[in-house]
């Protein structure tokens, strides 16, 4: 369990706290990049983790670090292999975290084409309309690392399509419980608060909607994601000690309205209780390239 009760007197103390938090996260990513670059035979890298773990930013950091070392990088999002919603029967009701939501035959065909050095037609998925909107041609090149990024990237079905001897896998999540200012925050709870803010700001989702979806998210994590963490070659803890102080005012803004349902009132009361002693940190201290920007956006206050 990570424990802290930092008291800040000056902006410089806040800046150093944020800087140290960022350095801890990025050092984990850089260590993996350095190790993989020392393995000339690695062709594929999978990057996975549960919701709101920071997969997207991490994939871009890895891409940048590999390119600095002279490697070509291709990021392929497994999200683009989702099946069209219109093709899914009411009886299936797959969610975006299960393997059944993926058009697995298309994924396997693309991997086989890449392995044989052929041009693969990678699908492009439109989440607004819930359907595939087209394809983009991709031809693999030498001295290239291909990063498959997505929740399902660590599932056995996905890993089985990639030759083990030329593949490494990374699992990223909030990997520790936190005790901050006398309150214990479960590691999953930290991700829930990230998602609550992100979905409200960028996906037009009310707290009630996020709460409804969270039940299924947790079930899938317990069944399909967390048990497969053991398949990863590397694990990254994306928790940033400063984030509770930054996200506090966002949470209060998200849930501070007239409550129509008891679930929302319970959530509001819980947030008020848990965060009552957490010292707020203005988001202007958060670097624009921080993994935490995935959840609060680029605005600075």
Residue 263's alpha-carbon distances to 204, 207, 210, 269, in angstroms, are 18, 9, 11, 10
Are 232 and 279 part of one and the same domain?
yes
Has residue 34 been placed in a domain? no
Q: Which of 139, 173, 207 is the last residue of a domain?
A: 173
Phi-psi region of 121 (alpha: psi -120 to 50; beta: other; left: phi over 0): beta
Under DSSP, the state recorded for 31 is H
Are 213 and 261 part of one and the same domain?
yes
Segments in 71-135 forming alpha helices (H): 104-115
What SS3 class is residue 137? Answer: strand
The structure tokens 């896998």 sit at 169
Backbone dihedral angles phi then psi of residue 288, each to the nearest 5 degrees: -65, -20
- For the record, the structure tokens of 231 come out as 């398949």
CA neighbours within 13 Å on the CB side: how many for 5? 6
Has residue 291 been placed in a domain? yes
Are 134 and 257 part of one and the same domain?
no
Number of domains observed in the structure of the chain? 2
pLDDT tens track of the chain, all 301 residues? Answer: 888 888 898 999 999 999 999 999 999 999 999 999 988 889 999 999 999 999 999 999 999 999 998 899 999 999 899 888 777 665 655 566 778 889 999 999 999 999 999 999 999 998 777 889 999 999 999 889 999 999 899 899 999 999 999 999 999 999 999 999 999 999 999 999 999 999 999 888 888 888 888 998 999 899 888 888 988 999 999 999 999 999 999 998 887 655 566 677 888 889 999 999 999 999 999 999 999 999 999 887 7
Would you say the C-alpha torsion 202, 193, 47, 231 has a positive or negative sign?
negative
Q: Which of 155, 173, 191 is the last residue of a domain?
A: 173
Residue 206 structural domain? 2-21+177-296
């Amino acid at each position: 369990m990570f424990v802290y009760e930092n008291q800040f007197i000056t902006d410089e103390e806040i800046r150093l706290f944020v800087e140290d938090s960022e350095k801890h996260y990025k050092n984990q990513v850089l260590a993996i990049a350095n190790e993989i670059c020392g393995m000339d035979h690695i062709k594929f890298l999978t990057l996975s983790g549960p919701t709101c773990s920071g997969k997207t930013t991490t994939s871009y950091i890895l891409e940048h670090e590999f390119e600095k070392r002279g490697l070509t990088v291709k990021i392929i999002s497994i999200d683009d292999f989702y099946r069209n919603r219109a093709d899914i029967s009411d009886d299936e009701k797959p969610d975006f975290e299960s393997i059944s939501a993926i058009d697995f035959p298309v994924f396997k065909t693309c991997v086989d084409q890449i392995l044989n050095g052929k041009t693969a037609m990678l699908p492009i998925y439109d989440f607004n309309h819930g359907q595939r909107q087209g394809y983009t041609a991709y031809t693999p090149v030498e001295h290239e690392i291909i990063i498959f990024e997505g929740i399902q990237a660590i599932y056995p079905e996905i890993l089985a399509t990639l030759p083990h001897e030329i593949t490494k896998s990374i699992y990223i999540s909030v990997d520790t419980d936190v005790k901050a200012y006398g309150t214990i925050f479960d590691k999953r709870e930290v991700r829930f608060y990230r998602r609550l803010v992100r979905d409200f700001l960028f996906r037009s989702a009310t707290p009630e909607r996020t709460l409804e979806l969270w039940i299924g998210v947790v079930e899938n994590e317990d069944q399909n994601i967390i048990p497969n963490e053991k398949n990863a070659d590397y694990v990254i803890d994306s928790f940033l000690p400063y984030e509770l102080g930054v996200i506090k005012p966002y949470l209060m803004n998200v849930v501070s309205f007239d409550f129509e349902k008891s679930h929302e009132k319970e959530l509001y009361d819980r947030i008020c209780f848990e965060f009552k002693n957490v010292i707020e940190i203005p988001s202007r201290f958060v670097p624009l390239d921080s993994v935490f920007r995935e959840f609060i956006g680029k605005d600075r206050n």
